[in-house]
Amino acid sequence: MWTECRIAIYASARLPVMSMKPFLTLLSVTALSVLSACSTVVPYDAGSDAALPPQAFASSAAIVAQHSVSSISCPVLNGDPANTSVTFAGSQQGISFTIPYNASWGYADNVLPAYVTHPADDQSPYGSVEFGPPQLSAYTSEDSSCDLTHQYVLRFLHQRTAQAAVTSIEGADSAITPATQTRTINGLTVVQYTDAGTCSYPTMEVIGQKYNYQFSTYCGENSSEEWSYLENIVKSVKLSK
């Protein structure tokens, strides 16, 4: 286990998982928080659905969340820049990585946890981890809720070589064939590409020994900011042997 501050903090959440992009998740969290001035390491195991870092940072600014396709007015959503970090440490998955975080993200009565774990589904055969800044989870006019989700996700995939990943990605039966690029980032082999559907999905698949690790946006715009965020996440990745 990788440690910076050995503070384990857990919260419980019950979030429905949908098998389509984007995942529209409903966050309802009861958190146990601890004050700490340094980066927090939060171990993950199958019995923990979510984790919260210390609630130690106040928000100085807020944005009003207005549903983009309807007249519904949501509560004030705090989306301030990250001001601390949490380390996801999954011994079963053989990975740790650093997540930028702000303990006041979300609504006043519904704080967004640093990350939320999901069980296996069709797109994530070994489960997934949702993390990153908050965003409204509703993208269609039929869904006029103020539910929140994170902006990024890590999906645990079957282990495969970079060439096998490229062959699968570029050979998929899809209206849009992603162009892949194989890179080396901090000694890790990474297959990079942009998937598309309802949104754009900038993606970096890290080649591992136990699993492959697919980092992506939940619903993105293929922006330079998204690519920069993903690259910084991958730079923090440590894989166990």
Q: Which residues contact residue 130 at a Cβ distance below 8 angstroms, ignoring those fewer than 6 apart?
A: 23, 25, 115, 116, 117, 118, 149, 150, 152, 153, 218
Give just the sign of the alpha carbon dihedral 30, 6, 152, 56: positive
**pLDDT at 172 (0 to 100):** 80
Assessment of whether the complete model's pTM goes beyond 0.75:
no
Give the bridge partners for 196, in sequence order: 200
| Phi–psi pair at 43, nearest 5 degrees | -65, 145
216 vs 66 pLDDT, higher one:
216
Quickly state the pLDDT bin for 100 (edges 50, 70, 90): very high
Q: Which two tokens stand for residue 119?
A: 């069980």
Mean pLDDT of 13-31: 36
Higher pLDDT, 66 or 115: 115
pLDDT grade for 40, boundaries at 50, 70 and 90: very low
Would you place residue 38 in the very low, low, confident or very high pLDDT band (cuts 50, 70, 90)?
Answer: very low
Q: Which of 123, 130, 121, 128 is nearest to 151 (CA)?
A: 130
Query: Could you tell me the residue ranges of all domains in the chain?
Result: 11-239
